[in-house]
């Protein structure tokens, strides 16, 4: 099922992290040589941490034209940027503080002070950066997958799933109702990119590792289309590619396990 994406299976989380780092380095070089800039949207969560560390070290660090890279975030918890739950903090500590990327090309999604202002500010930033006749959507959007089928902060049965026009929205994650069951979720406001923006990307990469993700990976990739329950199914890039980078454990329940479809 091509619209559900192509699947690449790696031996373990380290190989998966390296696979994603290679893809980002290749796409960065290609975009910069073709158009002079590369835009990447980073995911939060624990899974991409090792990828970010690898990108901050040779050989990836030296292969990427950092002076031409623009970094955005797919979602953010509305906490101060120094809070341990901040996606910005994780990416800065593991990657952005260690590479020669111009500071004004890092575009954090900060919503601790005012969510409506943050939503409006990020929406205009993205519209200015990506709206035609500029470059189109982001070159690469990196996403994780929650064990309840959420991605970015598109949580099951939340109003943001019906969004058709706006590119940025606020979401309340209520641990008690199950909309947001990750340990770092809790009762928390978040701001997220919406499916309409994510689907403008040239490449969307879902990254998942570990046996705990195997069932939801199977459901999202091969199960019936129920995007209200499995919001990750909303991600179908209109003109771009959808790639799943999984380790053997996360791919264990896929019929395609171990093969390129
Ligand atoms: C976040 C996310 C979220 C995450 C998944 C998977 O900020 O929490 O962007 O969508 O990617 O919950 O999280 P793990 O990688 O920690 O399993």
Ligand 1 atom nearest the C-alpha of 87 is: 7
The reported pLDDT for the residue numbered 177 is 55
Q: Which of 194, 189, 164, 197 is nearest to 110 (CA)?
A: 189
For residue range 197-236, list pLDDT tens digits in order: 999 999 999 999 999 999 999 999 999 999 999 999 999 9
Ligand 1 atom nearest the C-alpha of 213 is: 17
124-140 exposure pattern, b = at least 16 Cβ within 10 A, e = fewer: eebeebbeeeebbbbbb
Map tokens 């990828």 to a residue.
51
**Ligand 1 atom 12: the closest Cα is on which residue?**
146
For residue range 168-201, list pLDDT tens digits in order: 999 987 755 555 444 344 568 899 999 999 999 9
pTM score, two decimals? 0.94
**Average pLDDT over every residue of 10-25:** 98
Q: What does the angle CA 258 – CA 145 – CA 237 come to, to the nearest 5 degrees? A: 85
In this structure, the residues whose C-beta lies within 6 A of any atom of ligand 1 are 43-47, 74-75, 87, 144-146, 150-152, 182
The reported pLDDT for the residue numbered 173 is 78
- CA atoms of 131 and 180, how far apart (whole Å): 31
Q: Which of 155, 150, 152, 142 is nearest to 244 (CA)?
A: 142
Q: What does the angle CA 138 – CA 139 – CA 144 come to, to the nearest 5 degrees? A: 80
The reported pLDDT for the residue numbered 175 is 59
Ligand 1 atom nearest the C-alpha of 154 is: 10
**Average pLDDT over every residue of 57-81:** 96
**Ligand 1 atom 8: the closest Cα is on which residue?**
45
- What's the mean pLDDT when you consider all of the chain? 91
At 165, phi and psi to the nearest 5?
Answer: -115, -45
């Amino acid at each position: 099922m091509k619209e559900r994406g192509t699947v690449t299976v790696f031996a373990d989380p380290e190989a998966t992290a390296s696979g994603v780092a290679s893809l980002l380095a290749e796409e960065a070089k290609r975009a910069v040589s073709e158009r002079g800039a590369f835009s990447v949207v980073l995911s939060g969560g624990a899974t991409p941490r090792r990828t970010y560390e690898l990108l901050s070290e040779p050989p990836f660090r030296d292969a990427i034209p950092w002076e031409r890279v623009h970094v955005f975030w797919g979602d953010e918890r509305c906490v101060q940027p120094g809070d341990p739950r901040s996606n910005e903090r994780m990416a800065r500590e593991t990657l952005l503080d260690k590479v020669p990327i111009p500071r004004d090309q890092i575009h954090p999604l900060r919503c601790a002070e005012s969510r409506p202002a943050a939503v409006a500010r990020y929406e205009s930033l993205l519209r200015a950066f990506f709206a035609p006749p500029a470059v189109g959507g982001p070159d690469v959007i990196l996403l994780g997958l929650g064990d309840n089928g959420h991605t970015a902060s598109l949580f099951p049965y939340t109003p943001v799933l019906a969004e058709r026009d706006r590119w940025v929205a606020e979401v309340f994650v209520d641990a008690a109702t199950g909309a947001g069951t990750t340990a770092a979720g809790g009762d928390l406001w978040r701001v997220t990119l919406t499916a309409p923006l994510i689907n403008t990307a040239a490449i969307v990469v879902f990254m998942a590792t570990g046996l705990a993700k195997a069932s939801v990976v199977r459901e999202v990739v091969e199960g019936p289309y129920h995007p209200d329950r499995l919001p990750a199914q909303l991600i179908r890039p209109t003109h771009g590619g959808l790639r799943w980078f999984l380790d053997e454990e996360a791919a264990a329940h896929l019929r395609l396990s171990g093969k390129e479809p």
